[in-house]
Amino acid sequence: MSTKLEQAVDSRRTFAIISHPDAGKTTITEQLLLFGGAIRQAGTVKGKKTGNFAKSDWMEIEKQRGISVTSSVMQFDYDDKRVNILDTPGHEDFSEDTYRTLMAVDAAVMVVDTAKGIEAQTKKLFQVCRMRGIPIFTFMNKLDRDGREPLDLLAELEEVLEIESYPMNWPIGMGKGLEGLYDVYHKRVELHRPEKYGEERFIPLNDEGDIPADHPLHQDNVYTQAMEDVELLTEAGNEFSEEKIASGKLTPVFFGSALTNFGVQTFLETFLQFAPKPSEHKTMAEETVSPYEEEFSGFVFKIQANMNPAHRDRIAFIRVCSGTFERGMDVTLERTGKKFKLSNSTQFMADSRETVEEAVAGDIIGLYDTGNYQIGDTIYSGKMKVAYEELPQFTPELFMKVTAKNVMKQKSFHKGMEQLVQEGAIQLYKTILTEDYIIGAVGQLQFEVFQHRMLNEYNTEVILTPMGTKTARWIDPEDLDERMSSSRNILVKDRFDQPLFLFENRFAMNWFADKYPDVELKALL
Ligand code: GDP
């Protein structure tokens, strides 16, 4: 007999959906929420589409641009599972928070537009998931439109992402000619328009893996083509392996159309079957903590500021790793040893805030923060004394010089810089000789948020001078030689005083590598 805590943990499925903008992440998220009964009407996730935006109390900048700056959490129950979807901003202005969110999930769903294949942002997010070794499930979307050959798409997965793939189902036709899915895993054909052939949605396959010979679809060219593809895959494709799925070495591939809600439920049900339940988490001391451990513990993976401008509050998002979180419980913040009571917790649903009473491993809680937390902080109850592994830093690609407009405001300028850097909102660098401030980000939006917050929270107008895209590479402090610095490779130090170069481009980096073959150039993630 498992305990109540064990049962609760085992029912959790916590994942993020990763994709390039416009692949259909929002649309599929809405379908999933509809299945889970978390929303009643499509179009409620992204306010820009329905004009619902005024309802939300996110920061000003979000309202102006009509996008979600930071990720939120959606929770619903399906069958006997409690599902947590962590949203990752899909706009091209994504930020380090997007990456960090992937540190808090147990699996990822990669949505690919079948007409476009693997796009830039998908690739970046995929690399972070791969680094964590979490299972990745692929949803090939927009099957209701003419896209690329399915075999081509699988080949691209293997070539570009270097991951093995296993199609769980296979399209029968595409675009206007879409007839259904040959469901390899469930041994059935799922019809796109069941009404065309009578009302049955599923046709079971016989022992030969075929539909009955007298079924009208049997004569259709698209069916013959799909069968040929499936045969080819059975002979030459990868084998299904639960172990490889669990370690992120093989991605199960599902085809479908989020917009017409075709194949989404099959995907959801199969995904929930194979997606992992919360497992143990690594600590700084290289030990692990079981999710069934009685004491509560978790780590901060994201801090979102000014969700409600009237209160100027910040929310620290915490991934629960063990025990049961309860409202009003006493916890210790590991970094400072400070003890306090967690009285105000909020949990985020698609478009409303609800107070959480209880949460277990796999769940995400949002705590009101008045400046106590930093990214990567651990909190725990009782005498656990755990510190979870540090979150990785990501190599910024965009850089700006930053100065305070008013020299009289130096004090608040430095205070704001320090706070926002600590929070992980932006990366700070200083030039070696003159200590000029340079900030780095993975997305343009981080700069805008930074500028906005410096003004609103620290009353400091900052001047940002774009430096464009740079390739950042760290070097060993022992290799440091100021004469190596030039306008094409600017030598700076990070906030831990570690030296790095900001190369104008890859060409400049290669040139440098040729000139100084003994200097090792290291990237973060
Ligand atoms: P996101 O940027 O990844 O969140 O993408 P959205 O969900 O906002 O979708 C981008 C566009 O693609 C919207 O116009 C959607 O209506 C459309 N779209 C999403 N899924 C499908 C699909 O399955 N078929 C078709 N034809 N369009 C889709």
Domain boundary among 223, 249, 274: 274
427-466 per-residue burial string, b: 16 or more CB within 10 A, e: under 16: bbbebeeeeebbbbbbbbbbbbbbbbbbebbbebebeeee
The 3-state DSSP class for residue 225 equals helix
Whether 181 contacts 169, CB under 8 Å: yes
Contacting residues for 16 by C-beta, under 8 A, at least 6 apart? 71, 85, 86, 87, 88, 101, 102, 105, 108, 109
End-to-end CA distance of the chain: 42
Quickly state the pLDDT bin for 127 (edges 50, 70, 90): very high
Is the CB of 258 within 6 Å of ligand 1?
Answer: yes
pLDDT in tens, 392-446: 888 899 999 999 998 888 899 999 999 888 878 899 999 988 889 999 998 888 8
Quickly state the pLDDT bin for 8 (edges 50, 70, 90): very high
Residue 218 lies in a domain: yes
Q: pTM for the whole thing?
A: 0.88
pLDDT of 369 strictly over 60: yes
CATH classification at residue 406: 3.30.70.3280
Residue 460 lies in a domain: yes
Identify the residue whose C-alpha is closest to ligand 1 atom 9. 24
Q: What's phi and psi for 318, nearest 5 deg?
A: -120, 130
Distance, CA of 159 to CA of 155 (rounded, Å): 6
pLDDT in tens, 323-347: 999 888 999 999 999 998 887 666 5
Structure-model confidence comparison of residues 80 and 342, the more confident one = 80
**Taking residues 249-261, what's their average pLDDT?**
97
pLDDT in tens, 19-63: 998 999 988 988 998 888 766 555 545 544 433 332 333 344 444
Is the CB of 144 within 6 Å of ligand 1?
Answer: yes
- For residue 480, what pLDDT is reported? 87
Is the CB of 26 within 6 Å of ligand 1?
Answer: yes
- For residue 57, what pLDDT is reported? 32
Is the CB of 21 within 6 Å of ligand 1?
Answer: yes
- For residue 145, what pLDDT is reported? 97
Mean pLDDT of the residues in the chain: 87
CA 117 vs CA 48, 123, 218, 237, 249: distances in Å = 26, 11, 29, 19, 19
Structure-model confidence comparison of residues 86 and 143, the more confident one = 143
- For residue 371, what pLDDT is reported? 76
Distance, CA of 45 to CA of 34 (rounded, Å): 11
Residue 157 lies in a domain: yes
Distance, CA of 492 to CA of 485 (rounded, Å): 9
Distance, CA of 157 to CA of 354 (rounded, Å): 39
**Taking residues 84-107, what's their average pLDDT?**
83
Is the CB of 257 within 6 Å of ligand 1?
Answer: yes
List, in sequence order, every beta strand (DSSP E) within 323-363.
324-326, 329-333, 338-342, 345-348, 353-354, 358-360
360 and 462 together in one domain = no
248 and 294 together in one domain = no
pLDDT in tens, 157-203: 999 999 999 999 999 999 999 999 999 999 999 999 999 988 899 99
Q: Is 452 annotated as a binding residue?
A: no
Domain count for the chain, please give it: 3
Q: Is 91 annotated as a binding residue?
A: yes
404 and 518 together in one domain = yes
pLDDT of 349 strictly over 70: no
Q: Is 263 annotated as a binding residue?
A: no
Distance, CA of 489 to CA of 486 (rounded, Å): 5
Q: Which residue has the tokens 């040959």?
A: 182
* ipTM of the complex model: 0.99
260 and 362 together in one domain = no
Give residue 255 CA to ligand 1 midpoint distance, Å.
14
| Domain that residue 195 falls in | 17-66+91-274
Is the CB of 19 within 6 Å of ligand 1?
Answer: yes
- For residue 67, what pLDDT is reported? 36
Residue 74 lies in a domain: no
pLDDT of 309 strictly over 90: no
Residue 319 lies in a domain: yes
Whether 220 contacts 203, CB under 8 Å: no
409 and 473 together in one domain = yes
Domain boundary among 353, 381, 409: 381
Quickly state the pLDDT bin for 355 (edges 50, 70, 90): low
- For residue 231, what pLDDT is reported? 95
440 and 364 together in one domain = no
